[in-house]
Structure 1
Amino acid sequence: GDCAEACPSIESFEKESSRLDNLQLAKASCLTWNNVLCMSCIGKCDARALRLDERRRLILNDSLCTGCGMCVHSCPVNALGV
């Protein structure tokens, strides 16, 4: 749009910064790893990169993760990040 015309480098910056790389799960903070059922992040992940295992603990599938960051913003205890 107008911003990209005024500053051509902003378009490439927006594309680069919109994806999270190397998403990490802090198991010590994650509610599911502390025996509390929580699905806040799972409900936000359209890529289905997050699931609960048989013990209802959060599992992250890096190969499915698109890096959108929706899970990071939805976690009530900030257990997901880069």
Structure 2
Amino acid sequence: MTDSGRTYSRGEFLSFLLGKAPKKSRGIPLPYITDKGRAQEQCPDCGAPCLTVCPQRIVYKKDEEVPRLIFETAGCTFCKECALACERGVLSPEQEGPITAHIHLDFTRCLAWQNTLCQSCREACPEEAIFFEGLRNPNIRKDVCTRCGLCVPVCPVSCMEITVSK
């Protein structure tokens, strides 16, 4: 499906058909954060170059807060651009690993769990952390999942959620 040259994914198409409204998210910490305390001190008055360099446009900063990832339109590709742009050393490209957050699949809303053929989340996952029992019933290999959020915006019913680790 295209409109003005843009290609839409199956998840975006199903979202449109179902009238899905994007969820409001508070966001989660950026993946390359070196120290949360240092981020609280250094980020509020920073010019936030991490926002403008993100090719996915998923880094947001509200007023004088710490920048956050919001997966409403895309996920993190771990390109390191935000870390390379950080002038205060709060983010470091050497700080590798999964994003510190929780991932949750709401089985009560998931189309596949409701016997509707949908594998949008699996198709979006570069780590193959989402697996299906047959053609339905998706599950997440949490030890493989990087919490990149690529599965979140493609879900037509918003059943994938990534939240801040407490």
TM-score in terms of structure 2 length: 0.40
Match of 2:91 among 7, 11, 18: 11
User: Structure 2: which amino acid aligns with 1:36?
Assistant: T
User: Structure 1: which amino acid aligns with 2:122?
Assistant: I
CA contact (8 A) 2:105 2:161 kept: yes
1:27 aligned partner: 107
Tell me the distance in 2 between the aligned counterparts of 1:37 and 1:45: 17
Shift of 1:22: 1.3
Tell me the distance in 2 between the aligned counterparts of 1:10 and 1:74: 30
CA contact (8 A) 1:26 1:80 kept: yes
- Deviates further, 21-30 or 53-62: 53-62
| Greater relative contact order structure (CA < 8 Å, 6+ sep) | 1
User: Structure 2: which amino acid aligns with 1:19?
Assistant: I
Tell me the distance in 1 between the aligned counterparts of 2:146 and 2:113: 23
Where structure 2 has 5 or more consecutive residues not aligned to the other structure, the ranges are 1-83
Match of 1:66 among 143, 146, 149: 146
CA contact (8 A) 2:121 2:152 kept: yes
User: Structure 2: which amino acid aligns with 1:39?
Assistant: Q
Structure with the bigger percentage of strand: 2
| Structure of higher CA gyration radius | 2
How many residue pairs get aligned? The number is 75
Work out the percentage of aligned pairs sharing the same amino acid: 31
1:42 aligned partner: 122
TM-score in terms of structure 1 length: 0.77
User: Structure 2: which amino acid aligns with 1:48?
Assistant: E
Structure with the bigger percentage of helix: 1
Question: Over the residues paired in the alignment, what is the CA RMSD in angstroms?
Answer: 2.1
- Could you list the per-position Cα deviations for residues 33-63 of structure 1 after superposition, in whole angstroms to 9, with x for gaps in the alignment? 1000101111110000001103621111101
Runs of 4+ in 1 over 4 A off after TM superposition: none
